[in-house]
Structure 1
Amino acid sequence: MPDCSVAVGGIRLNNPVIIGSGDHVMTAGALRAARATGAGAVVAKSINENAAAKRQLDGSDHVLLDSRWRKVPWDFDPPDDAMLFGRSGLHQMDADAWIAEVAAEDRAAAQSGQYVIGSIILAGLDAACDLARRYQAAGIRVLELNIGAPHGDEAVKGAIIQERAAHRVREITAALRAAVSIPLWIKLTGQSEDVAALAEAAKQGGADAVIVMGRFMALVPDVETRAPMLGTAGALGGPWALALTCRWLAQTRKRVGKDFALLGTNGARSGLDVARFLLAGASAVEMTSAVMAGGFDVARRAVREFSDYLARTGGSAGDLVGLAADRQVGYGVQPDRPGYWREFVPPEAR
């Protein structure tokens, strides 16, 4: 059997597949179903203290679209090009009750070498620190702080904070780091001109790892109704995002160094996609939209396909991390090929 294990900021996962936080992991039963896939970890549904963020869940809606922006059935068997477009809110359960459930599932996960990770989405910083301390007191072993939730600009003011300023990322991370001693992962927005700078700020603030990167906000006009699909803007995820995320992983690896743990999210649909993220610099990969749209078997297949890939190509999961990123060179060192551009334009344009 190949060695699929990976090191992520002081802990070791059985494999690099992580089921990311979302509506599909909002109950204890869902967390158990997620663990049953064999994924290395599961990030539980996020919480914060804000009542408006919780109410936002009641207005949630989603649609699956193909690459020509046509709706496809929500039958948990989406086409390969399916994109998830939608909006959601945070867990409405009492915070202490949910924390207790997540901690209990994490204790059970430890028996199989897996993790169930607590997740907080930023609203107020003091409240986030308090929730972090409560998670740690309950025995949770890893905590994720999401400061890159895509819905931040659309939500009721103050319900969800999306941080794009490096100095604020540093301050927020430092405050959480002072509040808890357990491994702290910071999830960053992709809606920034310099994701790598945000990652560097999180590292300086004391993060054990950063997650690159949250989904993008989008607007999808419906040509039949001439109105926005779902009536609002929403977060958009799909396979198209993989290459964008991989580029920022590689850039971030250059910025923060090879020894600082990065996780990738936004675009992974398969075990080979997990390998692509690792080659770009991630140590592990969160799969969220794909699991929500395709069910938990998506993660199960990804774990198996990634293992099969290592068995076929040799080496360990850790050996893959950053290989493609470190071989990336600039435009200036490419060979001159006068006239080669003509191969890529219509014949009448040559």
Structure 2
Amino acid sequence: MANLGIDFCGVHFKNPVAAASAEPTLNAANMKKCIDAGAGSVIAKTMTDSSDMRELTTRAKWRFLNEKHEVCHGKVPRAFSLYSRSGLALETPKEFMKEIRETVKYAEQNDAVVIGSIGSTEIDGWVDLGKQMEDGGVPLIELNFGCPHPKLMPGVRTGMNVGQDFNYASEITNAVANAVKVPIIIKVTPQVTDLVQFSGMLKDAGAGAVTLTNRFIGFVPDIETGKPLIYGKAGIGGPWVKPLTLRWINEVRTAFGKELPITGTNGAYDWRDIVMFIMSGASVVQICSAVMCYGYEWLGKQVRGLEKFMDEKGYATIDDMLGIATDAAIEYSQMPPEKAHVNEDICKDCGMCLKACFSDAMQQGDGHVYVKQENCVGCGGCLSVCPVDGSIEIAPNK
């Protein structure tokens, strides 16, 4: 049986599946449900000294959107979007630390890890919140430099407003890293130009790891009413965003290797996605949107799915998969020349490949589809639209 355990920043996790910092980790009761479901770790809802961000959570709204970006009613598609307005932890730091201590104790009894999350509006506040989290017994602290909601609230300088100022974010990172003994993780926003540069600056400032990435800001009109969903701009993420998140995991992993551990979030829906995150370079994979849609038991289901996959494929440990796709990636100029090839024995001559070919390589004559090899660039568009598995192959020229 595969060993799902990992060591991350000196802390052992029984599995890489984490409940991300959000409503499912809003308080001790919720975090216990994540642990009971089988999550290896939980990242608590972000504790803050900002009364504005606490108050916003009392008016939280979210919608699950389908592929047309319309509100789902009953059936939620796999590639849904989570469109939401929310804030940070409801309680004051003094009150929320009671939730943290209770959860830490419960996690210790159930072989799970609690990661604290903090967000302040001043450097001294970040330091103070970090110290409180450390005193509460958490082995790791995540600094939330990515929350999209403060960007929509003028005058509140936390979350994304910090993460888009590389120098200020590095200053905060350095201050907290020097004030606490436990490793700190920086959760970043994807809405910057270069997360590789930023991750390097955070590493130099004292970060032990990075979380890639928080959500985007979106805007969705309701064409029936002419008004925006949930009153205006909101944070948006969900399974559809996975390739964008994996791009940054790939680049940061390529740049820093094992020197800068990564937790991945924003886009992981099920165990298949967890595998993709791990193969791209994320040691811990945080899940949020799917849990909010399907409930806490979703976490345990993905742990079991991951274990089954590893057993079937012969991966003994998470490290056997970690970063292997990133390690195998090559540049455009290194790609081998390939061509399309048609298996005439099973081709149904439906003509779909003719519509998807823009090199005039897919031809139809003598009653069947064939490839004009001198025109083919091996793009694979024909393969993608072909409804018959095995009818078209993209391979070196035969």
Equivalent residue number for residue 318 of structure 1? 319
Q: CA 1:254/1:19 → structure 2, altered by over 3 Å: closer, same or farther?
A: same
Cα deviation, residue 260, structure 1: 2.1
Matches for 1:86-105 after TM superposition, within 5 Å: 86-105=84-103
TM-score scaled by structure 1? 0.93
Cα deviation, residue 60, structure 1: 1.6
Q: Which amino acid aligns with 1:99?
A: M
TM-score scaled by structure 2? 0.83
Task: Find the aligned partners of 1:38 and 1:111 in 2 and give their Cα distance.
Answer: 13
> 1:274 touches 1:306 (CA, 8 Å); kept in 2?
yes
Larger Cα Rg: Structure 1 or Structure 2?
2
Cα deviation, residue 117, structure 1: 1.6
Equivalent residue number for residue 212 of structure 1? 212
Equivalent residue number for residue 264 of structure 2? 264
Cα deviation, residue 236, structure 1: 0.9
Q: CA 1:274/1:338 → structure 2, altered by over 3 Å: closer, same or farther?
A: closer
| Correspondence 1:67 to 2:67 | yes
Equivalent residue number for residue 121 of structure 2? 123
Q: Which amino acid aligns with 1:13?
A: F
Q: CA 1:335/1:32 → structure 2, altered by over 3 Å: closer, same or farther?
A: same
Cα deviation, residue 113, structure 1: 2.1
Would you say how many aligned residue pairs link Structure 1 and Structure 2?
347
Equivalent residue number for residue 331 of structure 1? 332
Q: Which amino acid aligns with 2:105?
A: R
Equivalent residue number for residue 28 of structure 2? 28
Q: For structure 1, which runs of at least 5 residues remain unmatched after alignment? A: none
> 1:17 touches 1:285 (CA, 8 Å); kept in 2?
yes
Task: Find the aligned partners of 2:312 and 2:357 in 1 and give their Cα distance.
Answer: 41
| Correspondence 1:250 to 2:250 | yes
Q: CA 1:248/1:345 → structure 2, altered by over 3 Å: closer, same or farther?
A: farther
Task: Find the aligned partners of 1:193 and 1:146 in 2 and give their Cα distance.
Answer: 18
Cα deviation, residue 95, structure 1: 1.2
Matches for 1:1-350 after TM superposition, within 5 Å: 1-73=1-73, 78-162=76-160, 163-315=163-315, 316-336=317-337, 346=356, 350=360
Runs of 4+ with >3 A deviation: 336-340, 342-350
Task: Find the aligned partners of 1:156 and 1:53 in 2 and give their Cα distance.
Answer: 12
Cα deviation, residue 313, structure 1: 0.7
Cα deviation, residue 63, structure 1: 0.7
Q: Deviation per CA, 1:84-125, whole angstroms, max 9, x where unpaired? A: 101101222131121122122112212232112211124222
Q: Which amino acid aligns with 2:39?
A: A
Q: CA 1:339/1:270 → structure 2, altered by over 3 Å: closer, same or farther?
A: closer
SS at match of 1:39: coil
Q: For structure 2, which runs of at least 5 residues remain unmatched after alignment? A: 342-351, 361-398
Q: Which amino acid aligns with 2:128?
A: D
Task: Find the aligned partners of 1:259 and 1:275 in 2 and give their Cα distance.
Answer: 21
Cα deviation, residue 142, structure 1: 1.6
Q: CA 1:343/1:333 → structure 2, altered by over 3 Å: closer, same or farther?
A: farther
Task: Find the aligned partners of 2:336 and 2:265 in 1 and give their Cα distance.
Answer: 33
Q: Deviation per CA, 1:172-214, whole angstroms, max 9, x where unpaired? A: 1111101111121110111111111111111111111110011
Aligned-residue Cα RMSD (Å) equals 2.1
Task: Answer with 257-266 or 269-278: which moved more.
Answer: 257-266
Task: Find the aligned partners of 2:334 and 2:52 in 1 and give their Cα distance.
Answer: 52
Q: CA 1:37/1:51 → structure 2, altered by over 3 Å: closer, same or farther?
A: same
Task: Find the aligned partners of 1:164 and 1:283 in 2 and give their Cα distance.
Answer: 25
> 1:174 touches 1:206 (CA, 8 Å); kept in 2?
yes
Cα deviation, residue 252, structure 1: 0.5
> 1:17 touches 1:286 (CA, 8 Å); kept in 2?
yes
Cα deviation, residue 336, structure 1: 3.9
Q: Deviation per CA, 1:123-178, whole angstroms, max 9, x where unpaired? A: 22211110111111222222111111122310231253422233233211111101
SS at match of 1:85: strand
> 1:62 touches 1:230 (CA, 8 Å); kept in 2?
yes
Cα deviation, residue 243, structure 1: 0.9
Q: CA 1:206/1:71 → structure 2, altered by over 3 Å: closer, same or farther?
A: same
> 2:49 touches 2:92 (CA, 8 Å); kept in 1?
no
Task: Find the aligned partners of 2:358 and 2:19 in 1 and give their Cα distance.
Answer: 49
Q: Which amino acid aligns with 2:80?
A: A
Q: Which amino acid aligns with 1:201?
A: M
Relative contact order: is structure 1 or structure 2 higher (C-alpha 8 Å, sep ≥ 6)? 1
Q: Deviation per CA, 1:39-71, whole angstroms, max 9, x where unpaired? A: 110011112111111111133211111112221
> 1:7 touches 1:318 (CA, 8 Å); kept in 2?
no
SS at match of 2:48: coil
Q: CA 1:324/1:104 → structure 2, altered by over 3 Å: closer, same or farther?
A: same
Task: Find the aligned partners of 1:318 and 1:102 in 2 and give their Cα distance.
Answer: 30
Q: Which amino acid aligns with 1:60?
A: A
> 2:263 touches 2:282 (CA, 8 Å); kept in 1?
yes
